[in-house]
Chains A and B, each alone.
Chain A
Amino acid sequence: MTRITILSVSASAILLLYILEMVRRRKLREEYSILWLAGGVIMLLFSLKRNWLEWVSNAVGIYYPPSFLFLIGMLFILLILIHFSITISRLYQMNKKMAQDLALLKQEKEEKSE
């Protein structure tokens, strides 16, 4: 094993274990862990199977295979960030709805107690 292999294998293994542990402790919902786990598994596979990585890199025309790993990592981060933006927008909608309903209910309650 080369040093870069050891480094990337242990990095992706630590990521996977950390995500699993967070899900187990209910600090991360399963729904949100899927993207992270998928990213971790792919990174781990390509770190272990150097020849797979080389094959895929050649296929897409990347001459230095480890830089393909960076590309995959970046794409995953991008995907996860978009996912977050969508989630935040949904949370905003829910929050708005709740605030509006709360204001209307509070007024109704005050009116009844008058």
Chain B
Amino acid sequence: MQGQAGENKRETHRVLIAIPAYGEEKSIGAIVAKVRQRLPYDVVVVNDGSPDGTSSAARNAGAITLDLPCNLGIGGALQTAYQFARDRGYDALVRIDADGQHEVDDIPGVLDPVLRGQADAAIGSRFLGGNEYRASIPRIFGIRFFRWLVRSNTGYRVTDPTSGFFAINRRMIEFYSRHYPSDYPEVDAYILMHRLRATTVEVPVRMYERAEGKSSISMSRALYYMVKVTLSFLINRIRRFA
């Protein structure tokens, strides 16, 4: 698998596409295959302890798979991919979702500022570039709240603070390998980047709603999300990092 990736490698940069997955055996194969077909990069799928065929579907489509023995949450799964990228000497890492929410063809656009050394992290935003994205009223409220939280605490002016579509360079990979939130990591990441004095840039991307509509989280879950993220965000502001 590694040999294959080496053969069709055209660029000097080694890039890893990381996809955390839980119970995505139906969609994961197509996404991995699409990335492998369009881009000269290695794909790693972190199976977050799902009991279904997620792992074998990913492997059959040409991904490297990391199987967690138990469910760690999306941040814990992603951190495993960062550790893998760190150990294997990748220069950059792009995270996309396993449910088809992110457009594979947008990966080069997100990756570009990082590979050219313009930013430590590039984050895909669904609100830039005139892309149409319809969101429910509570979600818009949440996004506005997090925009304000991020801007008032870090100075980063972001349009899409909860975006899970991003690229990071070697420096961020190494830091995240050691420090990364276990769940709901996206907003929290801005504090970590701020603490590192990392440079960030937003890039317009397309985002699709989940087909099954599983992501329409309930009101109590959404409230828990807001409280948990705000708390860990503020604590990370005053926390020590070794």
| Residue ranges of A at the interface with B (Cβ–Cβ < 8 Å) | 92, 95-96, 99-100, 102-104, 106-107, 111, 114
Contact = CB atoms under 8 A, between A and B. Distances in A.
A99 B75 CA distance: 13
A100 B178 CA distance: 12
Contact of A104 (B66, B72, B76): B66
A63 B76 CA distance: 53
Contacts of A107: 64-67, 84
6 closest residue pairs by CB, A with B = A103-B66, A100-B80, A103-B68, A99-B68, A96-B76, A107-B66
A99 B69 CA distance: 6
A99 B47 CA distance: 12
Contacts of A104: 66, 80, 83-84, 87
A50 B238 CA distance: 47
A106 B79 CA distance: 16
Contact of B80 (A92, A103, A114): A103
B118 interface: no
B153 interface: no
Contacts of B83: 100, 104
Nearest to A111: B2
5 contacts: A92-B182, A96-B182, A100-B68, A100-B80, A103-B68
Interface string B63-92: 011111110100010011001100100000
Interface in B167-217: 182
Contacts of A100: 68, 72, 76, 79-80, 83
A106 B65 CA distance: 9
A95 B87 CA distance: 20
Contacts of B76: 96, 99-100
Contacts of A102: 68-69
A103 B2 contact: no
A106 B46 CA distance: 12
Contacts of A111: 1-2
A88 B76 CA distance: 17
Contacts of B65: 107
Contacts of B84: 104, 107
Contact of B72 (A96, A106, A114): A96
Nearest to B49: A99
